């Protein structure tokens, strides 16, 4: 709720109408954004254009001012959660396909690289971008957003394009539209591991 309200102030999320927590479950009611999400057929049928808009839209989020963001330390939180999950043997095998011990070793080698450098969405996937005729209207599902490592969103952007478009060939269009000067392969690898070790 806090992130949705924060992003609404920047015209990148719907207005929050209400929030209820009941029986251990949270319910967030927002206004509707008058558009379609990124997995609508009209967008999927134009994958190059979709990947380009998707990359450019992520750069808009990452260039927001961080000053008033209500969740300032997402990378540290995800690292702590990953370490806890590693101790109990949790791993998402759809993301981390290599040997568990090898992945854990690599995680501990890389974890010091994580930064809290930009406002992140936290679940940057095609169903969470809302557009009208490829014009960005905003984003939904800000529950894991905050200030974190830009590579976490970049990882999920690459992942969702592969998953929803059934191909990895749109990755470069996405990264070019975002801006390759910001890309660090080791931080991207760390964020893949973070995604695989967090729920």
**CA 176, CA 56: separation in Å to the nearest integer?**
9
Spatial CB neighbours of 193, under 8 Å, sequence gap ≥ 6: 82, 96, 103, 106, 107, 110
- Domain of residue 90, CATH code: 3.90.1200.10
Domain span at residue 81 reads 33-197
Determine contact, residues 32/14, Cβ cutoff 8 Å: yes
How would you classify the pairing of strands 146-148 and 16-22?
Answer: unpaired
Residue 165 lies in a domain: yes
Residue 24 lies in a domain: no
Which of helix, strand or coil describes residue 30? strand
- Total residue length of the chain: 199
**Total number of domains in the chain:** 1
∠151-157-160 over CA atoms, to 5°? 140
**Inter-axis angle of helices 74-87 and 100-110, nearest 10:** 150
Residue 180 lies in a domain: yes
Residue 89 lies in a domain: yes
pLDDT digits (tens, 9 = 90+) for 83-140: 999 999 999 999 999 999 999 999 999 999 999 999 999 999 999 999 999 999 999 9
Residue 50 lies in a domain: yes
Instruction: Note if the pTM is more than 0.85.
Output: yes
Active site amino acids: 123
pLDDT digits (tens, 9 = 90+) for 64-87: 999 899 999 999 999 999 999 999
Averaged pLDDT for residues 44-70: 97
């Amino acid at each position: 709720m806090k992130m949705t309200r924060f992003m609404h102030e920047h015209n990148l999320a719907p207005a929050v109408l209400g929030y209820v927590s009941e029986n251990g479950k949270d319910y967030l009611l927002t206004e509707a954004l008058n558009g379609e999400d990124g997995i609508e057929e009209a967008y999927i049928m134009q994958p190059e254009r979709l990947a380009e808009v998707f990359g450019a839209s992520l750069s808009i989020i990452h260039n927001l001012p961080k000053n008033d963001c209500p969740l300032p330390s997402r990378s540290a939180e995800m690292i702590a959660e990953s370490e806890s999950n590693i101790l109990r043997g949790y791993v998402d095998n759809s993301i981390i396909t290599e040997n568990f011990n090898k992945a854990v070793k690599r995680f501990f080698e890389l974890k010091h690289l994580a930064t809290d450098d930009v406002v992140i969405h936290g679940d940057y996937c095609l169903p969470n971008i809302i557009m009208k005729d490829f014009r960005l209207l905003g984003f939904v599902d800000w529950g894991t957003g905050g200030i974190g490592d830009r590579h976490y969103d970049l990882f999920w952007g690459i992942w969702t394009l592969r998953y929803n478009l059934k191909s990895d060939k749109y990755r470069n269009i996405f990264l070019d539209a975002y801006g390759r000067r910001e890309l660090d392969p080791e931080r991207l690898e760390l964020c893949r591991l973070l995604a695989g070790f967090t729920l």
